[in-house]
Chain A
Amino acid sequence: MFTLLILDCIDKFKCERSLSAIYHLLTGKRSSQTLQDAYSYGISNYFGIYKTLDRIKFNRYIDQMREKGLFEGDDEEASLTRKGIELLHIEKNKGQLKDFNGLKYNRMTYYCNQRLTLFIQTITNIETENYSFIAINDNKDIQTWVKNLFIKNKNDLQKWLEGLYTELYMFLNGLDELDATIFVDRLTGSKNIGLSKEQIAKKYNLTHHDVEIKIELISHKLITFIRTNKQEAPLLSIFIEDLIEQLFITDSAAKTYQLLRRGYDNEQISSIRHLKMNTIHDHIVEIAYVDYNFDITEIVAKEEVVEILRSIRKLKTRKLKVLKENLNNKYSFFQIRLVLAVDQTKTWKGGLD
């Protein structure tokens, strides 16, 4: 499965992006370049679906795939071989990847999963009168959330057990056997502690990578299931209702954004936050990608945007250096990046004249 995922990325990148870009995409690197890649090449659904992927292990895996003759070329310019294309296009295989929804669910899966797991551990233990169990998740946000839900419903545990059972059963029934089994194996109840990823891999003879993305995929399916069956899954809905499809923005950028909205300018923010100007610029580019209402004309005047946009269209490139030179170094990288952002998100309302 991991192989397919990488093959699909190489395929979609059409020799235009390096293999590192795949790594950044899968791990959900918070950079405007990665976001740009995700949009431009139509693979935003893979964004951040394998956050724990280790760089060295990724490289090793890529090398093995190359040795197996699934793709050719170097790290800068790789393309699939016939063998690679065939593998990718076997119908059954293609279906596996279509349920990812990386960019949209990026931050939801972790919370949804962990809340659900911890809540199930909590209510099954309390129901069996075991009050001194140790929470299998030590994230404070999750614990607080679960605790609040529990306190609100502690007199209705039977109803919750039954309801969650019914709703999850409906979901699991729609998965294939192995996925459903893995989902259940990972749960912790009053008698049994769930299996680690490593143990799942061993038990079902899967590679570590495949387990990682399989578990992630199941979570994506769960969220899609909950959202499309709000009526039938009222209890599960509670686990995600406050998790908005948060298009990604770093926490640090969010702080910058907050200050911007309070009317501070870049210099002030840089000094308040003890951050370099470059960092603040990165934040602003990040914001421009996410907030479709963000008005960049306070930083780049309208006419300037138009000039940069024209140059982008003319040269058909997104390479910063080329653009900057073509524009006679009149604009900073920061300004060009901002214009690239509004171009990419198609939020430029000012026309080209």
Chain B
Amino acid sequence: MDYLEGKLSRFFGFSTFRNGQKEIITDILKGSSVIGILPTGSGKSLCYQLPAHLLDGSVLVVSPLISLMIDQVKQLKATGFKEVIAINSFLSMSNRNYALTNLASYKLIYVSPEMLQNKFFLRYLDKVKVSLFVVDEAHCISQWGHEFRPDYLKLNHAINQIGNPTVLALSATATPEVQIDIEQQLGLKEVKKHIHPMDRDNIAFMVQRFTQYQEKIAYVVDVLKKFNVPTMIYFSSRNTTEKAAEELSVNLPNHRIAYYHGGMEQEDRILIQQQFMNNQLDVICCTSAFGMGINKKDIRLVVHFHLPTQVESFIQEVGRAGRDGQASASLVLVAPNDDQLPKRLIENELPDYQTVNDIIDFLSAKENDNFSIKSETKMLDYFNLNETQWRFLLFQFEKHGMIKESRIMEEFNDWQMLKNQLYNLIVTRNTYKQKKLTELLKWADNEHVCRRKLLFSSFQETLSQPLYGCCDVCDFSFLTWEPPIVERNISIPPKGWEETFKQLMLQGDYRED
């Protein structure tokens, strides 16, 4: 067995590397910076977790998803890798102080991008030898990406401050233009690129057209009647999510169906998510809020009752199917006017020009007021902004030197210029996003070209050979689909609370010995 395989089996208990892992790790160990684009579920995290065991010093991972980070730390600790920590605002004071003063003792340090702007944290980090700087979800750095995070643009600065360590940028979706953005924004030189195909050989594609909502429901009912398999159904509005879940439940009495969206209480969200993972639910009707960090391996069917706003999101959502490599399918349902909602979503992502105008006027009047933007959460109400719009504005204000540390700069006076620049920016972005939406809608409209070919052509040159059917244009149909059907975790017939409680608490006959 070769050196790396030996370490892989020793630290993780896996006998072979998956596609791409070994090449990336080898480059990193040689000290080259790497951009790694690998599909979701392919094992990206191993590309820095193994080096963390092998490199001198610490590996620093920047990730935008705190909860994912915490889950990973938990899992690693469970496997016996104790020198890991996620530094975030959730850590209790004492834990945080301990972690910070002992920062160099951790081999793997997860941080949020905001944390890297914290002067105190950077001071602690000074004492740490960072041998690898990992940027997870690296597409967030691109303004063209579907999950742009302004904080990511400042990573470049952090990398410099830390003394330019080797960088590993990872993402599951990145078009060539986003890849270029990653390389430039992070200031990477002589970077090795490992771009792996996005397409998955076990997922077949199907698009169906309808004239209205009810037909879509009927179609889904038919498919699910035939295949009671773990299924996710994506919707673009919270209301429809709830409504459809109800209608499907009525029509599919043997299926356990629930809905999930960002408007639910946190507690209920966790319960529903865990029930789905635990096979207590068969079908989950959800918005895009569901799915971050889901690693259920046997999702067989991902239905898009509505399409998202761009190809990248679509690929990512479809990619939640079939992590176990078995036969899975993507089903897209289209109807006339389906494009209205995503269009509105796009328009709402950024503030409109009138609002920008009003806000700038408002702020320029406050200029000498020692006015702190941060304490003024009322801005959201005054101007009827949502969080994303406000974050966008704050970032732009800061970038153009209008505010610094939440205070309006006294010497700033280019108010009109700022308005013009923002206007141009908003127009450019909206046009770009509309273009992305059109691209996805066109894909769904097509009836003659292989759907895979069309979907992945901007990401990669060749396609892998599909294992269980390609698409409805080529060869796929639900009539011949044969997904593995698993024994269901059938709910136990209702017994009184006393018996259920005894079982839950492992008492009496249910005791574990």
Residues of A within 8 A of B (CB): 52, 120, 124, 127-128, 131-132, 134, 136-138, 140-141, 144, 161-162, 164-165, 168-169, 172, 177, 180-181, 183-185, 187-190, 192-199, 274-275
What would 25 A/B residue contacts be, using CB atoms closer than 8 Å? A124-B504, A127-B512, A128-B512, A132-B78, A134-B277, A138-B270, A140-B91, A161-B506, A168-B505, A172-B497, A177-B497, A183-B497, A184-B500, A184-B501, A188-B274, A189-B503, A190-B506, A193-B271, A193-B275, A193-B280, A194-B271, A196-B258, A196-B267, A196-B272, A199-B258
Apart from A138-B67, A184-B504, A197-B265, what are 8 other A-B pairs with CB-CB below 8 Å?
A124-B504, A128-B506, A136-B271, A168-B501, A187-B501, A193-B275, A198-B258, A198-B268
**Separation of A154 and B372 alpha carbons in the complex (Å):** 49
Of all chain A residues, the one with the shortest Cβ separation from B92 is: A144
Which residue of B74, B92, B496, B512 has the most chain A CB atoms within 10 A of its CB atom? B512
Q: How many residues of B contact A (CB 8 A)?
A: 36
Contact of A189 among B275, B277, B504 (CB under 8 A): B504
Of all chain A residues, the one with the shortest Cβ separation from B71 is: A134
Of all chain A residues, the one with the shortest Cβ separation from B246 is: A202
Of all chain A residues, the one with the shortest Cβ separation from B89 is: A140
Which residues of B, 266-310, contact A by the 8 Å Cβ criterion?
266-268, 270-272, 274-275, 277-278, 280
**Separation of A56 and B310 alpha carbons in the complex (Å):** 33
Given A134-B71, A165-B502, A165-B507: A192 touches B278 (CB 8 Å cut-off): yes
**Separation of A168 and B507 alpha carbons in the complex (Å):** 13
A125 nearest CB across to chain B (Å):
10
Given A124-B504, A127-B506: A137 touches B270 (CB 8 Å cut-off): yes
Contact of B506 among A124, A140, A141, A177 (CB under 8 A): A124
Measured between beta carbons, the chain A residues less than 8 angstroms from B266 are 138
B230 nearest CB across to chain A (Å):
15
Measured between beta carbons, the chain B residues less than 8 angstroms from A192 are 278, 280, 504
Measured between beta carbons, the chain B residues less than 8 angstroms from A165 are 501-502, 505, 507
**Separation of A226 and B119 alpha carbons in the complex (Å):** 47
Measured between beta carbons, the chain B residues less than 8 angstroms from A134 are 71, 74, 274, 277
Asked if B90 is an interface residue, CB under 8 A from chain A, the answer is yes
Asked if B375 is an interface residue, CB under 8 A from chain A, the answer is yes
Of all chain B residues, the one with the shortest Cβ separation from A52 is: B265
Measured between beta carbons, the chain B residues less than 8 angstroms from A188 are 271, 274
Measured between beta carbons, the chain A residues less than 8 angstroms from B512 are 127-128
Which residue of A137, A172, A198 has the most chain B CB atoms within 10 A of its CB atom? A198
Measured between beta carbons, the chain B residues less than 8 angstroms from A141 are 92
Of all chain B residues, the one with the shortest Cβ separation from A189 is: B504
A189 nearest CB across to chain B (Å):
4
A126 nearest CB across to chain B (Å):
10
Contact of B375 among A168, A181, A184, A275 (CB under 8 A): A275
Measured between beta carbons, the chain B residues less than 8 angstroms from A128 are 506, 512
Of all chain B residues, the one with the shortest Cβ separation from A132 is: B78
**Do residues A131 and B506 form an inter-chain contact, with CB atoms below 8 A?**
no
Of all chain B residues, the one with the shortest Cβ separation from A276 is: B375
Which residue of A140, A164, A192, A195 has the most chain B CB atoms within 10 A of its CB atom? A192
Of all chain A residues, the one with the shortest Cβ separation from B260 is: A196
Given A138-B67, A275-B375: A124 touches B505 (CB 8 Å cut-off): yes
A23 nearest CB across to chain B (Å):
18
**Separation of A52 and B264 alpha carbons in the complex (Å):** 11
Measured between beta carbons, the chain B residues less than 8 angstroms from A195 are 271
Of all chain A residues, the one with the shortest Cβ separation from B75 is: A132
**Do residues B505 and A172 form an inter-chain contact, with CB atoms below 8 A?**
no
**Separation of A120 and B277 alpha carbons in the complex (Å):** 19
B44 nearest CB across to chain A (Å):
20
**Do residues B258 and A164 form an inter-chain contact, with CB atoms below 8 A?**
no
**Separation of A275 and B266 alpha carbons in the complex (Å):** 30
Which residues of B, 468-513, contact A by the 8 Å Cβ criterion?
496-498, 500-507, 512
Measured between beta carbons, the chain A residues less than 8 angstroms from B372 are 274
Measured between beta carbons, the chain B residues less than 8 angstroms from A161 are 505-507
**Separation of A161 and B506 alpha carbons in the complex (Å):** 7
Of all chain B residues, the one with the shortest Cβ separation from A136 is: B270
**Separation of A195 and B506 alpha carbons in the complex (Å):** 19
**Separation of A137 and B78 alpha carbons in the complex (Å):** 19
A282 nearest CB across to chain B (Å):
15
**Do residues B278 and A162 form an inter-chain contact, with CB atoms below 8 A?**
no
Given A192-B278, A196-B272: A184 touches B497 (CB 8 Å cut-off): yes
Measured between beta carbons, the chain A residues less than 8 angstroms from B502 are 165
- Mark B74-97 against chain A: 1 for CB-CB distance below 8 A, else 0: 110010000000000011100100
B49 nearest CB across to chain A (Å):
16
**Separation of A146 and B258 alpha carbons in the complex (Å):** 29
**Do residues A196 and B274 form an inter-chain contact, with CB atoms below 8 A?**
no
Measured between beta carbons, the chain A residues less than 8 angstroms from B74 are 132, 134
**Separation of A274 and B376 alpha carbons in the complex (Å):** 11
**Separation of A126 and B258 alpha carbons in the complex (Å):** 28
Measured between beta carbons, the chain A residues less than 8 angstroms from B265 are 52, 197
**Do residues B501 and A169 form an inter-chain contact, with CB atoms below 8 A?**
yes
A123 nearest CB across to chain B (Å):
9
Of all chain B residues, the one with the shortest Cβ separation from A275 is: B375
Which residue of B92, B502, B503, B505 has the most chain A CB atoms within 10 A of its CB atom? B505
**Do residues A181 and B92 form an inter-chain contact, with CB atoms below 8 A?**
no
Given A193-B275, A193-B280: A180 touches B504 (CB 8 Å cut-off): no
Measured between beta carbons, the chain B residues less than 8 angstroms from A164 are 505
**Separation of A134 and B277 alpha carbons in the complex (Å):** 10
Measured between beta carbons, the chain A residues less than 8 angstroms from B92 are 140-141, 144
Measured between beta carbons, the chain B residues less than 8 angstroms from A52 are 265
B374 nearest CB across to chain A (Å):
8
**Separation of A164 and B505 alpha carbons in the complex (Å):** 8
**Do residues B67 and A193 form an inter-chain contact, with CB atoms below 8 A?**
no
Contact of A196 among B90, B268, B505 (CB under 8 A): B268
**Separation of A168 and B497 alpha carbons in the complex (Å):** 12
Given A131-B78, A172-B497, A199-B258: A193 touches B506 (CB 8 Å cut-off): no
Measured between beta carbons, the chain B residues less than 8 angstroms from A169 are 498, 501
**Separation of A192 and B500 alpha carbons in the complex (Å):** 10
Measured between beta carbons, the chain B residues less than 8 angstroms from A198 are 258, 268
Measured between beta carbons, the chain A residues less than 8 angstroms from B78 are 131-132
A159 nearest CB across to chain B (Å):
12
Of all chain A residues, the one with the shortest Cβ separation from B249 is: A202
B81 nearest CB across to chain A (Å):
13
B369 nearest CB across to chain A (Å):
12
Measured between beta carbons, the chain B residues less than 8 angstroms from A144 are 92, 95
Of all chain B residues, the one with the shortest Cβ separation from A114 is: B267
**Do residues B505 and A189 form an inter-chain contact, with CB atoms below 8 A?**
yes
A137 nearest CB across to chain B (Å):
7
